[in-house]
Structure 1
Amino acid sequence: MKLPHHHPYTLSDPWTAGVVILGAGQGERLGHGPKALIELGGRPLLLHVLEAMSANRSVTAIAVTAPDGLTEEFEQLIDSAQPQVPVRVIPGGPTRQASAYAGVAALPPGPEWVAVTDVARPFTEPGTVDRLLDSLRATAQSPGPAPHPCGVVPVLPLVDSVHLAAEEPLLAEPFDRSILRAAQTPQVFHRDCVSTAYEEAQREGTTHTDDAGMVSRLGGTVVTAPGTASNFKITFEHDLMLAQAVHAHAQTVLPGRGSAI
């Protein structure tokens, strides 16, 4: 099955979005327990991301996925933060893709757009979802190869040289990095489009590393917007150490700005 490239949505009315925060990861590669509960500057990563996602004029609801057995703890933590928009906590699935699918389904009716993001990106800037929607609207309004795209993903060009792998320890020929992009989150999609993509991927039994790749593979049009280097993902111990240094620096030079830099 291929998704239609054109989805019925208005370009004149204001858009609203629901957010799915993927917090069910156990953080095996990091080794500090559930990633959402790892503290940065005295606050769990979950609250850093929740604050950034709430700080978007378009966001009207948030769903958070939690590891097995931690739903109630997540709810209590979120309640203590007194978020500006309604938040629902649900159990995550066995894979990232399954968790995202469950999160989108848990959002209330109403938002036409969905942003999916990782709890491991504590430096996502407030207003990022708004900015991505504005970028997508501008693309949809302009004549070009991507009318009414299904979604938008923030990307960065690669700075390291890239080589194809050969049999270890041999290195194969270099690859042209100018045509490659590193995808970040949040990634924003038309709700019908991404829901259909999750359903089709489930029927096929295919798993994708991110939602943009899933939607693109199934025929949906996904456009890009500039990402930000500060919006890096905490995956390994080195990333956590870097995040701690960045946060400490931000608190020194940008007091009162919270987790965003």
Structure 2
Amino acid sequence: MAHHQHLREVERPRHVGAVILAAGHGERIGAGPKALLEVGGKPLLLHVLESMGSNSSIESVVVTAPPSLVADFRNLVASTDREVTVRVTPGGPTRQHSARLGVEALPPEADWVAITDVARPFTPPGAVDALLDELRGTPGSAGSSRPPCGIVPSLPLVDSLHLLDEDPFLGAPFDRALLRAAQTPQIFDRNCVSEAHAAAARDRLAFTDDAGMIRHFGGTVTAGSGDASNFKITYERDLALAEALYAHLSSAPPSGSSAHG
């Protein structure tokens, strides 16, 4: 895939399509599909649709849904006011399969793709636009003048890290400065991510995110700016944290307010 690092110009992406991965059943929380879980009285899917809709670069959205709930998801989407086209399509049995189906379902004019998880309801407004701006300022990959395949919001780790000797004994400490925690939305040139998905399906390989998959097949991905509030709801305790954060954000003064503490 290395030859696909000579991407079309990122200076003016003509059309960015967003894929919201919402086909999971939320097994670790045990309260049904995550997309329908509510934070602040609103389903996670609607939170994420709002965050994607806040980006001027996004012109279309695909939501992958559990196959048995496609009609329910379409009704939920239809109940909202939106300025971009939103299509709900059946997802696959794994996150990776759903991402591939979501990218394939975008309109052909979408030449860039932002892939995000429905379990991240606090993606900052305008995050995709900001990441594209970062990507435009990124030099070519090491030893090459060609731009990278995409950009991923990421955060440095704060905990001390250790390699594991024979469980349960800790081994040597690991330099956390070498690691980053990847978030979503992850933004890629469509050709790049589509060919990586095809290669992974051909080789029957599984990856935890699209950035790792692209990197495996020779593409380069830039580490962009993440946000600590953009955490992923995985366990029941995360849902409680999300409710607390939503209440805090809802009570905070508007950005730019002159209120004094």
Q: Contact 1:151–1:188 (CA<8 Å) still a contact in 2?
A: yes
1:128 alignment partner in structure 2: 127
Cα pair distance change 1:246/1:204, threshold 3 Å: same
3-state secondary structure, aligned to 2:138: helix
Percent identity over paired residues: 57
1:259 alignment partner in structure 2: none
Q: Contact 1:197–1:215 (CA<8 Å) still a contact in 2?
A: yes
1:52 alignment partner in structure 2: 51
2:168 alignment partner in structure 1: 169
Which whole-Å deviations, capped at 9, do the CAs of 1:78-132 have from their partners, x for residues lacking one? 1101221001101110110000000000000112100000000000011111111
Which structure 2 segments of 5+ residues have no match? Answer: 256-261
Q: Contact 2:35–2:119 (CA<8 Å) still a contact in 1?
A: yes
- The worse-fitting range, judged by mean Cα deviation, of 246-255 and 175-184 is 246-255
Cα pair distance change 1:68/1:142, threshold 3 Å: closer
2:258 alignment partner in structure 1: none
Which whole-Å deviations, capped at 9, do the CAs of 1:168-226 have from their partners, x for residues lacking one? 22111111111000000000000000000000000000000000000001100101111
Q: Contact 1:146–1:223 (CA<8 Å) still a contact in 2?
A: no
Letter in 1 for 2:9: T
3-state secondary structure, aligned to 2:77: helix
3-state secondary structure, aligned to 1:70: helix
Which structure 1 segments of 5+ residues have no match? Answer: 257-261
1:155 alignment partner in structure 2: 154
Q: Contact 1:5–1:149 (CA<8 Å) still a contact in 2?
A: no
Q: TM-score, normalised by structure 2?
A: 0.93
3-state secondary structure, aligned to 2:201: helix
1:115 alignment partner in structure 2: 114
Q: Contact 1:17–1:114 (CA<8 Å) still a contact in 2?
A: yes
2:235 alignment partner in structure 1: 236
Cα pair distance change 1:12/1:168, threshold 3 Å: closer
Q: 2:67 & 2:141 partners in 1: Cα distance? A: 45
Cα pair distance change 1:209/1:248, threshold 3 Å: same
1:68 alignment partner in structure 2: 67
Cα pair distance change 1:142/1:209, threshold 3 Å: closer
Q: 1:254 & 1:4 partners in 2: Cα distance? A: 49
3-state secondary structure, aligned to 1:249: helix
2:19 alignment partner in structure 1: 20
Q: 1:33 & 1:77 partners in 2: Cα distance? A: 16
- The worse-fitting range, judged by mean Cα deviation, of 160-169 and 137-146 is 137-146
3-state secondary structure, aligned to 1:242: helix
3-state secondary structure, aligned to 2:120: coil
Q: 1:99 & 1:5 partners in 2: Cα distance? A: 23
Structure 2 residue 30 is the aligned partner of structure 1 residue 31 = yes
1:139 alignment partner in structure 2: 138
Give 1:16 deviation, angstroms. 2.3
Q: 2:55 & 2:10 partners in 1: Cα distance? A: 19
2:178 alignment partner in structure 1: 179
1:249 alignment partner in structure 2: 248
Which whole-Å deviations, capped at 9, do the CAs of 1:210-255 have from their partners, x for residues lacking one? 0000000110010111100010000011111110000011111146
CA RMSD of aligned residues (A): 1.8
Aligned positions of 1:201-212 closer than 5 A: 201-212=200-211
Q: 1:92 & 1:34 partners in 2: Cα distance? A: 12
Give 1:145 deviation, angstroms. 5.4
Q: 1:140 & 1:99 partners in 2: Cα distance? A: 31
Give 1:34 deviation, angstroms. 0.3
Letter in 1 for 2:55: N
